[in-house]
Amino acid sequence: MMGGMATTKFDPKREIASYTARRGRFDLVEVPPLRYAMVDGRGDPNTAPEYAAAVEALYAVSYAAKFALKRELDRDHVVGPLEGLWGADDPATFVSREKSAWSWTMMIWQPDWLELERFEAAVAEAAAKAPAASRVRLETLDEGLSVQTLHIGSYDDEGPTLARLHDEFMPGHGLRFNGLHHEVYLGDPRRTAPEKLRTILRQPVARAT
């Protein structure tokens, strides 16, 4: 550091409480409204080319926005982890892992100080190298009351945990579904052994009436 103080880097995983979960238990949390770069798709994420293109586009837009904010506002942040909202006509397909039946919205957190104009400029910049970036939008997600836990291991081993959440914890605590299944990927599957992957599993809920 020379000539002054270093820019403070905002890290969502440290500053936002809902990015923390505990293994082996389900916790009720209040998730604040958060802004995300989002892109939608459908099908098995392991085989659908659309999925790989969506993830590439999200990172391209997120890094373009990060560098623009640092350059223009002198505000720096850590690019958030990849996250996904997963939907299906039958929630049981999450337990059975019938991935071809899933729809998804992949997303990456964006800071509150990212204005829409700068975001749109980042999309245009990213689309020059990653054409799917033109489909990325900026949206606020307000999940509110949610149940979450930390899963360690392969994504394909999530089924038993989700079964306990859906069939035991939620009914036992008078809760019902109130939003899409949400996963926060704290580990990079390209660099991490499957048994060491860390994933927050989150389900927005409401009190059953």
Tens digit of pLDDT for each residue in 36-93?
A: 999 999 888 888 889 999 999 999 999 999 999 999 999 999 999 999 999 877 666 6
**Quick one: average pLDDT of 15-42?**
96
Q: Is the pLDDT of residue 137 over 70?
A: yes
pLDDT value at residue 4 = 40
* pLDDT attached to residue 193: 86
Residue 5 has pLDDT above 60, yes or no: no
99 in Cβ contact with 44 (< 8 Å): yes
Distance CA 44, CA 37 (A): 21
**pLDDT at residue 209, as a whole number:** 77
Question: According to the model, what pLDDT value does residue 174 have?
Answer: 97
The predicted pLDDT at position 96 comes to 66
Distance between CA atoms of 113 and 149, rounded to whole angstroms?
A: 29
pLDDT of residue 63: 97
pLDDT bracket for residue 6 (50, 70, 90): very low
Pairing type for strands 34-42 and 144-152 reads: unpaired
The reported pLDDT for the residue numbered 91 is 67
Question: Mean pLDDT, to the nearest integer, of 7-21?
Answer: 91
Residue 122 to residue 67: CA distance in whole angstroms: 9
Average pLDDT over residues 97-125: 92
- What fold does the segment set 10-18+26-207 form as a domain? Multidrug-efflux Transporter 1 Regulator Bmrr; Chain A (3.20.80)
Q: Is the pLDDT of residue 116 over 50?
A: yes
Show contacts of 29-34: CB within 8 Å, 24+ apart. 29/145, 29/146, 29/147, 29/148, 30/144, 30/145, 30/146, 31/143, 31/144, 31/145, 31/146, 31/202, 31/204, 32/142, 33/140, 33/141, 33/142, 34/109, 34/140, 34/141
Task: Quote the CA–CA distance of 30 and 72 in Å, as a whole number.
Answer: 33
Predicted local distance difference test score (pLDDT) of residue 93: 66
Cα-Cα-Cα-Cα dihedral sign, residues 174, 177, 179, 184: positive
Q: What is the pLDDT of residue 2?
A: 37
